Amino acid sequence: MRDEIGDVRNRVRTIGPEKLRELLDGKEDWLLLDVRNDIEYERWKLEGKKTPETLHIPYFDFFDQEDEIIAGIPKGRPVAVVCAKGDSSAYVADLLNQRGYKAVNLKGGTVGWGDYYAARKIPGYPKAGKGGLFFQINRVGKGCLSYMLISDGEAAVVDPGRHIQTYLDLAKEHRTRITTVLDTHLHADHISGGPALAQATGATYFIQSADSEDAPLKRAPLTDGQIIEIGKSRIRVMALFLPGHTPGSTTYLVDDQYLLTGDTLFVDGVGRPDLGGKVVAWAHMLYDSLFRKLKDYRDDLVVLPTHFSNPAEMNGEGLVMGTLGKLRKTNAALQIGDEEGFVRYIQTQIKSQPPIYADIRLVNLQKKTVDEDEASEMELGKNECAAAPH
């Protein structure tokens, strides 16, 4: 069976996640054929800024109605076939090619798509003339964002995903040493790479103690207003405690220009405050953070969140960002001035949290250990961290 799979894979041309991203952003006219089962498809649909026409036909349907199903697939455009891991889709792509289609297989399937990271420079960084660089690293399939800040041979990484080689490779490419790793909060939708990255590099790892009490994490203390210097150019990261999504949610103010808001404030929506089962109490904390603690911060500060829910939140450069002033005018949650109205609004905007989130939090606290296959399974699907219109 393994040899047969290998033969089919060798016959069928593949595309990688980077090419898939181009297709999902509408840069070419393709047909997307998703052959996962109904449950997998409903849990996680592939979306982009201009998602191409998508057909969902479960793989096993081809066994019973091959001729009828293939006849219903339009010709004239290349077809990208997708499954969970890239095996079933290879067979379907091969069938289509035998019938005169131009079909390709997504290498690694949706698992590979979920593990794809793309780094883009954040424009206008004030230390650029001194060798400073600022990257937003987008785990596109999951809607997860992390950051690398570089100055004079030192780097800080904020909210890294579990695939730490991404950050090690980026640091090596820019001849820098990772000295600081920070999480904005205890993540629930994905496994943090923070502790592992700190261990691999000897960096100091920071997470607010309210999110990590009684956990065996090796971490440094983090206090409100603390300044962490990165490099000789004195790039400053200031911790501002803005609880609500979690009790220890922290926003980092970088060089008095960028707000790394974690899951407190998104471009569209705010962080869901129900993960601890205290939606009303935490929603009140979230209101206090957004409307009182952030009130006096300048409109021109650039908000850089840790998640996005919709590809439309990406700008023309593929970055998820917006000024605080713009978000104050366009983010629906920030239009509600009274506290009780805000709490009621939040309650209407959240769906039931995925049950797996409880286990992911335990993994991130190092109270539960999983292998690579288990970790991959736990992380399947887009994040569901926002309280936003849906």
Residue 368 sits in the same domain as residue 350: yes
Residue 219 sits in the same domain as residue 140: yes
Residue 148 sits in the same domain as residue 87: no
Least trusted range by pLDDT, from 119-123, 131-135, 136-140, 362-366: 131-135
Contact 350, 283 (CB under 8 A): no
Residue 10 has what pLDDT?
66
Non-local (6+) Cβ contacts of 214 within 8 A are: none
Residue 29 sits in the same domain as residue 75: yes
Q: What is the CATH number of the domain that holds 302?
A: 3.60.15.10
- Report residue 8's pLDDT band, with 50, 70 and 90 as the boundaries: low
Burial class, 189, CB count within 10 angstroms (exposed 0-12 / middle 13-18 / buried 19+): buried
Q: Nearest to residue 114, comparing CAs of 21, 182, 242?
A: 21
Whole-angstrom distance, CA of residue 261 vs CA of residue 305: 5
Domain boundary among 63, 92, 113: 113
Residue 353 has what pLDDT?
87
- Report residue 245's pLDDT band, with 50, 70 and 90 as the boundaries: confident
Residue 194 sits in the same domain as residue 153: yes
Residue 169 has what pLDDT?
98
Give 241's strand partners.
250
Residue 277 has what pLDDT?
84
Residue 179 sits in the same domain as residue 218: yes
C-alpha dist (Å) from residue 34 to 81, 88, 90, 144? 6, 10, 12, 23
Residue 109 sits in the same domain as residue 121: no
Residue 129 has what pLDDT?
66
Residue 98 sits in the same domain as residue 140: no
Residue 146 sits in the same domain as residue 254: yes
Residue 259 has phi, psi (to 5 degrees) of -110, 110
Helix (H, G, I), strand (E, B) or coil at 6: helix
Residue 58 sits in the same domain as residue 128: no
Whole-angstrom distance, CA of residue 204 vs CA of residue 220: 7
Helix (H) or strand (E) segment spanning residue 151: strand 144-151
Per DSSP, helices labelled H in the chain are 2-11, 17-24, 38-43, 61-71, 88-98, 109-114, 165-173, 194-201, 279-288, 324-330, 339-349, 356-364, 372-378
Whether pLDDT at 124 is above 90: no
Of all residues in the chain, what percent carry a pLDDT higher than 90? Answer: 77
pLDDT (tens digit, 9 = 90+) per residue, 48-70?
A: 989 999 999 999 998 888 899 99
Domain boundary among 92, 113, 134: 113
Whether pLDDT at 131 is above 80: no
Non-local (6+) Cβ contacts of 12 within 8 A are: 90, 93, 94, 97, 103, 104, 105
Residue 183 sits in the same domain as residue 204: yes
Beta strand 118-121 with 14-15 is unpaired
* Residue-range definition of the domain harbouring residue 189: 117-387
The single-letter code of the amino acid at 29 is D
The single-letter code of the amino acid at 244 is G
Q: What is the CATH number of the domain that holds 90?
A: 3.40.250.10
Query: How many C-beta neighbours within 10 Å does residue 199 have?
Result: 13
Of all residues in the chain, what percent carry a pLDDT higher than 70? Answer: 96
Write down the mean pLDDT value for the chain: 92
Whether pLDDT at 325 is above 80: yes
Residue 254 has what pLDDT?
93
| Given the residues 24, 32, 83, 106, the one annotated as active site | 83
Contact 158, 146 (CB under 8 A): yes
Whole-angstrom distance, CA of residue 315 vs CA of residue 308: 12
Phi-psi region of 255 (alpha: psi -120 to 50; beta: other; left: phi over 0): left
Average pLDDT over residues 88-111: 95
Average pLDDT over residues 123-144: 87
In the residue annotation, 83 being an active-site residue is answered as: yes
Listing DSSP states for 60-110 in one string gives THHHHHHHHHHHTS--SS-EEEE-SSSSHHHHHHHHHHHTT--EEEETTHH
Please state the domain count of the chain.
2
Residue 130 sits in the same domain as residue 209: yes
Whole-angstrom distance, CA of residue 5 vs CA of residue 251: 48
- What is the 8-class DSSP label of residue 289? I
- Report residue 1's pLDDT band, with 50, 70 and 90 as the boundaries: very low
Domain boundary among 113, 136, 162: 113
- Report residue 3's pLDDT band, with 50, 70 and 90 as the boundaries: very low
